[in-house]
């Protein structure tokens, strides 16, 4: 299985008066434009998700919608509370094992959860320090997350690099 972990694109700053509820912060126009380029680059790289699973937070959901549109993803985007900013990685891995049998899975979420997931799956530990920028993408390969929760890090690309590939 290929796992593509994607951090949401640039969003309205935390604490902005009209978005006091962190879960409601939307993408900025710059964030939308950046994600369109990133989605185009992922499509050019041959990413063809069988499932897009997103955090329900607005900025992640909007990121997932842009990905789905650019990549011509025909299915419904699925949502999981296990992808919110401080979610438990073991809960997410259990959910993936229980609910989804796919070859390519796109996970759209937040920091620090995505870095912790990379650390857990690669065996480096959830405290691993990864500079997962807004719009950054990490690709992992895993044979079977049921038996061993181990994956190989195939690549980690910054939004700047991805934008140049588009």
Give the model confidence (pLDDT) of 10-53 as tens digits: 999 998 999 989 999 999 999 999 999 999 999 999 999 999 99
Give me the DSSP letters along 123-164.
TS-TT------TT-EEEEE-S-TTT----EEEEEE-HHHHHH
The whole-number average pLDDT for the span 129-140 is 94
Q: Which CATH superfamily is domain 2-165 in?
A: Phosphoglycerate mutase-like (3.40.50.1240)
Full-prediction pTM beyond 0.85? yes
Beta strands 78-79; 51-54: pairing state: parallel
Task: Dig out the tokens for 85 from the structure.
Answer: 């900013």
How many CB atoms are located within 10 Å of the residue 3 CB? 21
Q: Which band of pLDDT confidence, cut at 50, 70 and 90, is reported for residue 147?
A: low
Burial tier of 28 (Cβ tally within 10 Å: 0-12, 13-18, 19+): middle
Residue 70 has pLDDT above 80, yes or no: yes
Does 150 have pLDDT greater than 90? no
What pLDDT was estimated at residue 124?
A: 85
Confidence band for 71, pLDDT divided at 50, 70 and 90? very high
pLDDT at 129: 83
**Span 97-108, average pLDDT:** 95
| Domain boundaries defined on the chain | 2-165
Whole-number average pLDDT of the chain: 94
Q: Is the pLDDT of residue 131 over 90?
A: no
Q: How far apart are CA 45 and CA 32, in angstroms?
A: 20
CA distances from 52 to 22, 84, 109, 130, 135 (A): 22, 15, 11, 22, 15
Q: Average pLDDT for residues 62-85, to the nearest whole number?
A: 97
| Portion of the chain with pLDDT greater than 90, in percent | 83
Residues 7, 29, 21: CA angle, nearest 5 degrees = 65
pLDDT at 25: 97
């Amino acid at each position: 299985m290929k796992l593509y972990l994607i951090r949401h694109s640039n969003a309205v700053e935390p604490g902005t008066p009209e978005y006091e509820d962190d879960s409601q912060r939307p993408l900025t126009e710059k964030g939308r434009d950046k994600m369109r380029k990133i989605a185009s680059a992922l499509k050019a790289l041959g990413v063809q998700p069988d499932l897009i699973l997103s955090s329900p937070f607005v900025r992640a959901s909007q990121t997932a919608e842009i990905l789905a549109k650019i990549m011509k993803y025909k299915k419904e985007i699925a949502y999981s509370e296990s992808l919110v900013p401080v979610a438990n990685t073991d809960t997410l891995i259990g959910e993936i094992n229980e609910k989804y049998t796919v070859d390519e899975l796109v996970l759209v979420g937040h920091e620090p959860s995505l870095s912790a997931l990379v650390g857990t799956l690669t065996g480096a530990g959830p405290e691993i320090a990864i500079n997962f920028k807004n719009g950054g993408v990490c690709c992992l390969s895993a044979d079977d997350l049921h038996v061993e929760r181990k994956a190989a890090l195939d690549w980690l690309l910054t939004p700047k690099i991805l934008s140049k590939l588009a």
